[in-house]
Structure 1
Amino acid sequence: MNKIQEFNELHFSEDLLFLGNAWDLFSALTLEKAGFKAIGTTSWGIANSLGYKDGELIDFDRHLGIIKTIAENVKIPVSADIEAGYSEDTETIIDNVLRTADVGVAGINIEDSLKKSNGLREISHHCNLLEKIRTALDQNGYKDFYINARTDTYFQRQNPLMETIERAKAYVESGASGIFVPGLKGDGEIKEITTNISAPLNILSLPGLTSCNKLKELGVGRFSFGNALSDNIFAYLDKKVGQLLRYKDTSLLYENEH
């Protein structure tokens, strides 16, 4: 079984797929060592680790290089977060997806948010993009490559439920393997979406939305924590560095030694 097949099967096992989010090789290896069955890269975490904000501000080649390093050095499947595809040109996005597949990942996250302007891609436009991505993947030897279609309705709409279901259904019909709805939180709305789409639903961890077991009961197929872990690590580093300079004493670096 190759990594793509393995990653697909993880979405349909008895257990919810708890995805560990990495931003560099060290974090990826740590997640693998801990026992996570798959890794998703976090574009936010990668951007922050390089001194940038999220939002396709890094050169794509540089971003892809980090994804490649992770994919080549862990044994578990990796899904790459490529935001909205790093372009507004369809052919360029397709090329970026194929280049991402070429570095050895088993899937991607691709979102419907616009980067150079506010709002979401029109449903028909995004469906056309997903269809072309799926066709290109199939034609280049990447059958069943996992396309996790992210919709940002819960970040950009006042009453997003019905549009989320509409987009989710259309995206699955256009070749998406799964649907990712960050910002979705209420149990009732989660249940409504899982019962109305024929593909695994990926939920993003939020304060108050943290239990894999509870989400499994609601029909969720995949759960990820996005940039929450990297944010914690970076905040811890910032705090420690500040303490070092404030106290001019390195004893705090040895507090946990016995």
Structure 2
Amino acid sequence: MSVIQEFNNLHTSEDILFLGNAWDLLSALTLEKAGFKAIGTTSWGIANSLGYADGELIDFDANLRIVKTITESVKLPVSADIEAGYSENFDTIINNVLRMADVGVAGINIEDSFKKGKGLRDIKEHCNLLINMRTALDNYGYKDFYINARTDTYFQLENPLNKTIDRAMAYVESGASGVFVPGITKEHEIKEVANQVKAPLNILSLPTLTNCNRLKELGVKRFSFGNALSDKIIALLEYNAAKLWKLQDTSHLYEN
């Protein structure tokens, strides 16, 4: 079975796919060792690890190198977060997706929001991008490559439910394998999206949205924690570094 098919199967099994979000090789290997069945990179975490904020401020090649290192080292399917594609030019975006596929990822996560300014890409334009992306992947031998179409409606619009469903359905019709709706938290809205959109629904962990089993009951097929783990690790690093300097003592590093 190919890694692409293995990754697709994880979205259609009875269990919810709890995706482990990694930002470097060590975090990916740690998540694999813990038992996660698939890895999804976090662009936020990768950017932070290189000293940048999220939002396509790092070079695409820098992202690609980290993803390549992960795919070559873990035995799990890997999905790459490519934000909005690291370009506003559709040909460049599609080429970036193909380059990710070439390093062995089973899928990508792509957003419909702009990185250089607020707003969402026109729905027809984004659908056209997805159609051409799917065609290019098929032509290059990456049939069933998993395109997780993220819509940022809940981050940018008021009363976004209906527009979220419209976009999600259009994206699936245009070749997306699944849809990702970060920011949604109300259970009845999650259930509505899951019922209306005939593709696996990915939800992002938030302080009020944390339990896989409950989300499974609502129809969610994929659950990810984004940059939450990398943020926690960074906070722990900052705390210990500050404590070392303040106390001029290393004893706390050896405490259980």
TM class, shorter-chain normalised? over 0.9
In the TM superposition, what whole-angstrom CA distance separates every residue of 1:136-162 from its partner, at most 9, and x where no partner exists?
A: 000000000000000000000011000
Counterpart residue type for residue 5 of structure 1:
Q
> 2: CA distance between counterparts of 1:130 and 1:207?
31
Partner of 1:109: 109
Counterpart residue type for residue 88 of structure 1:
E
User: Cα RMSD over matched residues?
Assistant: 0.4
Counterpart residue type for residue 20 of structure 2:
G
Give 1:1-258 correspondences, 5 Å limit. Answer: 1-256=1-256
Counterpart residue type for residue 18 of structure 1:
F
Counterpart residue type for residue 219 of structure 2:
G
Give 1:116 deviation, angstroms: 1.5
Give 1:207 deviation, angstroms: 0.4
Counterpart residue type for residue 23 of structure 1:
W
Counterpart residue type for residue 146 of structure 1:
Y
Q: TM-score, normalised by structure 2?
A: 1.00
SS in 1 for 2:44: helix
SS in 2 for 1:94: helix
> 2: CA distance between counterparts of 1:62 and 1:219?
36
SS in 2 for 1:226: coil
In the TM superposition, what whole-angstrom CA distance separates every residue of 1:174-196 from its partner, at most 9, and x where no partner exists?
A: 00000000001000000010000
In the TM superposition, what whole-angstrom CA distance separates every residue of 1:119-174 from its partner, at most 9, and x where no partner exists?
A: 00000000000000000000000000000000000000011000000000000000
In the TM superposition, what whole-angstrom CA distance separates every residue of 1:179-217 from its partner, at most 9, and x where no partner exists?
A: 000001000000010000000000000001000000000
Give 1:111 deviation, angstroms: 0.3
> 2: CA distance between counterparts of 1:217 and 1:118?
34
Q: TM-score, normalised by structure 1?
A: 0.99
Identity %: 74
**Number of residue-to-residue matches in the alignment:** 256
Give 1:74 deviation, angstroms: 0.3
> 1: CA distance between counterparts of 2:59 and 2:12?
35
> 1: CA distance between counterparts of 2:190 and 2:132?
29
> 2: CA distance between counterparts of 1:62 and 1:18?
26
Instruction: List, as ranges, runs of 4+ consecutive aligned residues in structure 1 with deviation greater than 6 Å.
Output: none
SS in 2 for 1:62: helix
SS in 2 for 1:142: coil
Give 1:118 deviation, angstroms: 1.2
> 1: CA distance between counterparts of 2:40 and 2:205?
14
> 1: CA distance between counterparts of 2:136 and 2:193?
29
Which consecutive residues of structure 1, in runs of 5 or more, have no partner in the other structure? none
Give 1:117 deviation, angstroms: 2.0
Give 1:115 deviation, angstroms: 1.2
SS in 1 for 2:131: helix
